[in-house]
Amino acid sequence: MHPAPSVIVFTVLSGLGFGTMALLGLGLGPSGAVAGPLTGLFAFVLAGAGLLASTLHLGNPQRAWRAFSQWRTSWLSREGVVSVALMAVFFAYVAGWFLTGSPSRPLGILSALLAALAVFSTAMIYAQLKTVPRWSNPFTVAMFLGLALAGGVIATGLAMTLAGETPGPGAGLPLLAGSAAAYAYRRRTGALSLATAATPESATGLGALGRVRQVEPPHSAPNYLMKEMIFIVGRRRAEKLAVLFVIFGLFAPLFLYILSREAEALAAPGLALALALHLFGAFISRWLFFAEAEHVVGLYYGRR
Amino acid sequence: MTALPPCGEVKLGLVIDLDTCVGCHACVTSCKEWNTGGYGAPLSDLNAYGPEPEGAFLNRVHMYEAVPETGPAQVVNFPRSCLHCEDAPCVTVCPTGASYKRAEDGIVLVNEDACIGCGLCAWACPYGAREMDRAAGVMKKCTLCVDRIYNDNLPEEDRIPACVRACPTGARHFGDLGDEESAVSRLVAERGGFALMPEQGTKPVNRYLPPRPKAAPEPLSLAALAEPEAKGFLGWLDRALERL
């Protein structure tokens, strides 16, 4: 699948923003009357920038408001509805916190629920597609939720350290769980080739005659389908990128997080570096998520 | 509304005969000609005279070969377009309600005024039936020539999809596949028509008819070709030269 930069930027930035919102809403972030709302503003801007980026890949972005109408059937519509509801509720939560000096517990919990639902909806847009076997499984959902959670833990940890607070005991466990979920996605879906969904024989229905091979394509230059669904550029570098992601995007932030808990002097620079590395890793992982995914339409073109 | 309607009685669709298709692409050009001037935005071509022309088409004709374990391969021309699935995944994923399936005849259409061009429906379709119009930024797909088949302004023989009308070998048939007694349904039953990628669970309406079995060719003896037996004058000459 073609890795559209706007979709990668959207899912990575909004994932980090939503993860931070969820933890802040649950009271697991900084609790100060200034540090809390400021962290909230950071998450709000990140998620907002991501949501704006998501409209850049549309053919007719001026009609994007229509995407709020089909929440009964469409995960993309649900993502839109939930994201906008989350932005409104979370804005009220942060503004109330800033004005009154203390956060509203119900609004915080509602924000956390909506944030989890928003990331879940994003993941389901991909996990629902039977046409892409690598995506159409629960590991996709776990990976999206896991990366958002990991980013949230690092971002709130950094905010607390900067505000002179100490994250509570066990605050690193969600980071471990989130990183494990992100790691599991590629390990467990790598073997889900196109053949697990369909074959050239079932795509053409000609299996009874023998093995099917394309002799001549229907057009001489690549069309929309081939550019969008049969993206093969960079696949040969996929293994190296995956190693970069695991080392710099998963293990390094985890190590830096533990280090920051042990050595107080290193806490702020360590967590800042961890956040930067997490973002770097998340971009690689999301690029691979698209570039490595194969769509069954490739079977008609004799390519994957 | 992107919820699928309750399955109706009428299921209009195409039956494509892979035995008779000669791969001339007349259906492709006829489809493009009709649909670039009919329903919705024109089917744009980008860089049409450049090195890499690209355009939106609603119908594509592939050429495959099927290679059996033994014996010669068979070449099959294979037109590919929207199958107007009963359980159309392209409809339910649409966030705006632009993509819909008609209850009255089962045709899957795009309301281009509501399409935001997100491309998710094309991702959801296993058959590559949807192509983005890069100029208009909306999704294009086969309409089963909805602006022909009910069009009283056309002579009756033209009230069929443009691809069916254009096919010079009669490889394309149009009709109601929901009616077991219709000509297309009988054709499917007689010839063992099949659906594409049934494992995707989309329940396509369109059917393909398999190529008829070919008579096995006489086994070719290369040894006989290498040593032709000359007869008549050439035979006498051959024997005479042999004796020299």
Query: Which whole number is the average pLDDT over B139-165?
Result: 96
**For residue B208, pLDDT beyond 90:** yes
CA distance B70 to A167: 70
Q: What's the pLDDT at A209?
A: 93
CATH number at residue B142: 3.30.70.20
CA distance A177 to A174: 5
Q: What's the pLDDT at B217?
A: 67
Q: Where are the domains of chain A?
A: 5-57+65-202+222-301
Contact between A76 and B120 using a beta-carbon 8 Å cutoff:
yes
CA distance A188 to A184: 6
Query: Which whole number is the average pLDDT over A53-60?
Result: 87
The residue behind tokens 């001339």 is B24
Contact between A211 and B66 using a beta-carbon 8 Å cutoff:
yes
The alpha carbon of residue B238 is apart from the nearest alpha carbon of chain A, in Å, by: 45
* pLDDT band at residue B224 using 50, 70 and 90 as cut-offs: low
Min mean pLDDT across A88-92, B46-50, B128-132 is at B46-50
The alpha carbon of residue A96 is apart from the nearest alpha carbon of chain B, in Å, by: 33
pLDDT per residue as tens digits for the range B98-139: 999 999 999 999 999 999 999 999 999 999 999 999 999 999
Those residues whose C-beta lies under 8 Å from the C-beta of residue A192, and which sit 6 or more positions away, are A133, A134, A137
Enumerate the residues of chain B whose CB falls inside 8 A of the CB of residue A82: none
Measuring CA to CA, how many Å separate B18 from each of A203, B76, B196? 14, 7, 13
* pLDDT band at residue A169 using 50, 70 and 90 as cut-offs: confident
What is the architecture of the domain spanning A5-57+65-202+222-301? Up-down Bundle (1.20)
Bridge partners of B64? Answer: A214, B76
* pLDDT band at residue A166 using 50, 70 and 90 as cut-offs: confident
Half-sphere exposure of A178 (CA within 13 A, CB side): 25
Query: Is residue B225 included in any domain, yes or no?
Result: no
Contact between A222 and B54 using a beta-carbon 8 Å cutoff:
yes
**For residue B213, pLDDT beyond 90:** no
Which ipTM value was assigned to this complex?
A: 0.93
**For residue B220, pLDDT beyond 80:** no
The alpha carbon of residue B225 is apart from the nearest alpha carbon of chain A, in Å, by: 30
Enumerate the residues of chain B whose CB falls inside 8 A of the CB of residue A296: 126, 197, 200
Query: Is residue B233 included in any domain, yes or no?
Result: no
Query: Which whole number is the average pLDDT over A149-163?
Result: 95
Query: Is residue B159 included in any domain, yes or no?
Result: yes
B123 and chain A: CB distance < 8 Å anywhere?
yes
**For residue B225, pLDDT beyond 80:** no
Query: Is residue B175 included in any domain, yes or no?
Result: yes
CA angle at residue A58 from A52 to A59, to 5 degrees?
Answer: 145
Chain A 109-138, residues with CB within 8 Å of chain B CB atoms: 125, 128-132
Local structure of residue B216 (DSSP, 8 states): P
**For residue A33, pLDDT beyond 70:** yes
B67 and chain A: CB distance < 8 Å anywhere?
yes
**What burial letters (b/e) apply to B45-66, b meaning 16+ CB within 10 Å?**
beeeeeeeebbbbbbbbbebbb
Q: In this prediction, what percent of chain A has a pLDDT beyond 90?
A: 78
Enumerate the residues of chain B whose CB falls inside 8 A of the CB of residue A53: none
The alpha carbon of residue B198 is apart from the nearest alpha carbon of chain A, in Å, by: 8
Averaged pLDDT score across all residues of chain A = 93
Q: What's the pLDDT at A268?
A: 92
* pLDDT band at residue A290 using 50, 70 and 90 as cut-offs: very high
Q: Which domain holds residue B127?
A: 12-209
B29 and chain A: CB distance < 8 Å anywhere?
no
Chain B 178-207, residues with CB within 8 Å of chain A CB atoms: 194-201
Count structural domains, chain B.
Answer: 1
DSSP readout, A164-198?
T--PPTTTTHHHHHHHHHHHHHHHHHTT--GGGT-
Min mean pLDDT across A106-120, A141-155, A166-180, B144-158 is at A166-180
Enumerate the residues of chain A whose CB falls inside 8 A of the CB of residue B137: 58-60
Query: Is residue B38 included in any domain, yes or no?
Result: yes
A220 and chain B: CB distance < 8 Å anywhere?
yes
A195 and chain B: CB distance < 8 Å anywhere?
no
The alpha carbon of residue A222 is apart from the nearest alpha carbon of chain B, in Å, by: 7
Q: What's the pLDDT at B228?
A: 67
